[in-house]
Amino acid sequence: MHPASAALPLSIEPGTEVALRVCFTPICHGLCRTELKLQFNVNGTAVSISRYLEARCGDAQELQDLAPTSKYERVRFKPLTISSPIQTKPPPVPPPLSVGNRLKIPAAFVPTVFRRAINCGDAEETLRAGAELIASADAATAIAGYVKHMQYLLWAEEVQLVLDLCSFNLTGPNATVLSTSMGKPGCLRLRVDGLAEKRPSVLKGDTVTVNLLGQGKSVHNGRAAHIDMEDVHLEFSDEFVKSYIPNTKVEVYFVLSRGALNVFHNGISCVQDLPRAKSLLFPEVIDLHPVNQNSPRLHKESLPLDIFGRQLNREQLGAVTSILDGVARRVPYVLFGPPGTGKTTTLVEVVMQCARGKRGAPKLRVLACAPTNTAADVMCERMVHGGLSPDELYRIVAFSRSRSDVPPALVKYTNYDSAQDAFVDPELTQLLG
């Protein structure tokens, strides 16, 4: 055996073993992966062999404590299979109409081929190819690839959401009991540990299926009528409510609500019909010419606007002016900055200017969206403070949200119906009226 310190290049005879010592110089704790490439010259022919190396930097005892105790195996949840047909009992009342139902948005179910690819671990290649196509193709070609890629991402997310919900199912030894719902006639109360932390996430209007332990052929669908911390008050058929004996064990299966996913798929499929999809999704320099990409930095005194917010700085005023004047309207206008730099304040000012009319111009309708209820509530509260009336501001709240979660000052601006004690979807004529 040749020593590891022998000079390179090294002449190796057939059957000879060579020990190589590889040294790492870590700059931080953690795991380092690298490639070791060995080059050989066999009778004038160059041959390369690569091996992947891993090195861990840190306290040896801590690494040992954190080491896996067994080989990782993906958790696979098998659907309930029954030889004879299942008798399903629906809840007593139909679900409230949603925008998706009224618009008859088609369901976009996960393709069987892609589901199999996910189960086999081959879906990553499909997603990677879609991302590479969007990055490398011209804008016109990338739009079609964008639609397909986003659909695959939504399908992959849906599969994961179903798996996550399955992990919370209360079956077999974890079967639980239902109890009489106090104050909710016709409902049964289900206690779900972790519900307050959204583990699992059950919203008002969602479906939960139950069957008596050992009687999986008769399934009863319950609809979540009210959520109270870790208690779900479920509406069942009168037959099940009257026949159920309190504290009888039941198996519980949580069902993924696909309403929002169908809306997402429908929105993505409409991208190709947008008249300016290319400049919106894949803007190029020519889309900005000859306008200036940067907002002018104006002093408040020189801005010919009646400012609603008195705390705007020059950068914020410049952004407001550029948006109202339609600078670079062919591409999205992006406001960015660290937390606390006034992005929400700037957006509220823009909406207020549009709603009240800019420089004598007619009032505009603005659809303001936010990723969370909290963010939307904050914007609305600031607009209310700015003087917008219920005729000028309309906060659309999802049916699944509880009235107690909405700031009291905003309730009269929302789509809350006191007769139904719920947030109902407004008619299109009401929004456009």
Enumerate helices (H) and strands (E) in the chain, giving the number of each.
Answer: 13, 11
Using pLDDT thresholds of 50, 70 and 90, give the confidence band for residue 154.
very high
Question: What digits encode the pLDDT tens for the residues 217-267?
Answer: 888 888 888 888 888 888 888 888 888 888 889 999 998 888 889 989 998
Structural domain contains residue 409 = yes
Question: What digits encode the pLDDT tens for the residues 23-43?
Answer: 888 777 777 778 888 888 888
> Mean per-residue pLDDT for 425-430?
79
Question: What digits encode the pLDDT tens for the residues 158-215?
Answer: 999 888 888 889 988 889 999 888 777 778 888 888 877 777 888 888 889 998 888 8
Residue type, 258: R
Residue 152 has pLDDT above 90, yes or no: yes
Max mean pLDDT among 11-20, 70-79, 170-179 falls in: 170-179
Q: Report the distance separating Cα 338 and Cα 319, nearest Å.
A: 16
Using pLDDT thresholds of 50, 70 and 90, give the confidence band for residue 304.
low
Residue 344 has pLDDT above 60, yes or no: yes
The whole-number pLDDT of residue 412 equals 93
The whole-number pLDDT of residue 180 equals 85
Q: Do the bridges between strand 218-228 and strand 87-89 make them parallel or antiparallel, or are there none, so unpaired?
A: parallel
Classify burial at 87, counting beta carbons within 10 Å of its beta carbon; exposed 0-12, middle 13-18, buried 19 or more. Answer: exposed
Query: At a CB cut-off of 8 Å and minimum separation 6, what does 176 contact?
Result: 170, 190, 191, 249, 250, 252
> To the nearest whole percent, how much of the chain has pLDDT over 70?
85
The whole-number pLDDT of residue 107 equals 86
Using pLDDT thresholds of 50, 70 and 90, give the confidence band for residue 379.
very high
Q: Are the C-beta atoms of residues 182 and 380 closer than 8 Å to each other?
A: no
The whole-number pLDDT of residue 387 equals 86
CA angle centred on 48, ends 45 and 52, rounded to 5°: 175
> Mean per-residue pLDDT for 8-36?
80
Structural domain contains residue 339 = yes
Q: Which of 315, 327, 387, 304 is nearest to 351 (CA)?
A: 387
The whole-number pLDDT of residue 83 equals 42
Task: Show the domain range for 333.
Answer: 283-432
Q: Which helix (H) or strand (E) holds 266?
A: helix 259-269
Structural domain contains residue 242 = no
Structural domain contains residue 85 = no
> Mean per-residue pLDDT for 17-28?
81
The whole-number pLDDT of residue 406 equals 92
Q: 259-269 and 139-166 helices cross at what angle (nearest 10)?
A: 170
Residue 430 has pLDDT above 90, yes or no: no
Q: Are the C-beta atoms of residues 178 and 246 closer than 8 Å to each other?
A: yes
Structural domain contains residue 3 = no
Q: Which of 231, 221, 224, 233 is nearest to 184 (CA)?
A: 233
Least confident piece of the model among 190-194, 310-314, 411-415, 418-422: 310-314
The whole-number pLDDT of residue 341 equals 87
In b/e form, how buried is each residue of 132-160, taking b as 16+ CB within 10 angstroms?
A: ebbeeeebeebbebbbebbbbebbbebbe
Q: Report the distance separating Cα 366 and Cα 203, nearest Å.
A: 28
The whole-number pLDDT of residue 302 equals 52
Q: Which of 190, 304, 174, 306 is nearest to 241 (CA)?
A: 190
The whole-number pLDDT of residue 378 equals 93
Query: At a CB cut-off of 8 Å and minimum separation 6, what does 42 contact?
Result: none
Query: Average model confidence (pLDDT) for the chain?
Result: 81
Structural domain contains residue 26 = no
Report if pTM > 0.85: no
Least confident piece of the model among 65-79, 191-205, 380-394: 65-79
Q: Report the distance separating Cα 203 and Cα 211, nearest Å.
A: 21
Structural domain contains residue 201 = no
Q: Do the bridges between strand 422-423 and strand 416-417 make them parallel or antiparallel, or are there none, so unpaired?
A: antiparallel
Residue 301 has pLDDT above 60, yes or no: no
Question: What digits encode the pLDDT tens for the residues 87-139?
Answer: 666 666 655 544 444 567 888 899 999 999 888 888 888 898 888 888 887 77
Q: Do the bridges between strand 30-42 and strand 45-57 make them parallel or antiparallel, or are there none, so unpaired?
A: antiparallel
Structural domain contains residue 332 = yes
Q: Report the distance separating Cα 305 and Cα 412, nearest Å.
A: 29
Q: Are the C-beta atoms of residues 172 and 251 closer than 8 Å to each other?
A: yes
**Total number of domains constituting the chain:** 1
> To the nearest whole percent, how much of the chain has pLDDT over 90?
14
Question: What digits encode the pLDDT tens for the residues 212-227?
Answer: 888 878 888 888 888 8
Residue 328 has pLDDT above 60, yes or no: yes
Residue 380 has pLDDT above 90, yes or no: yes
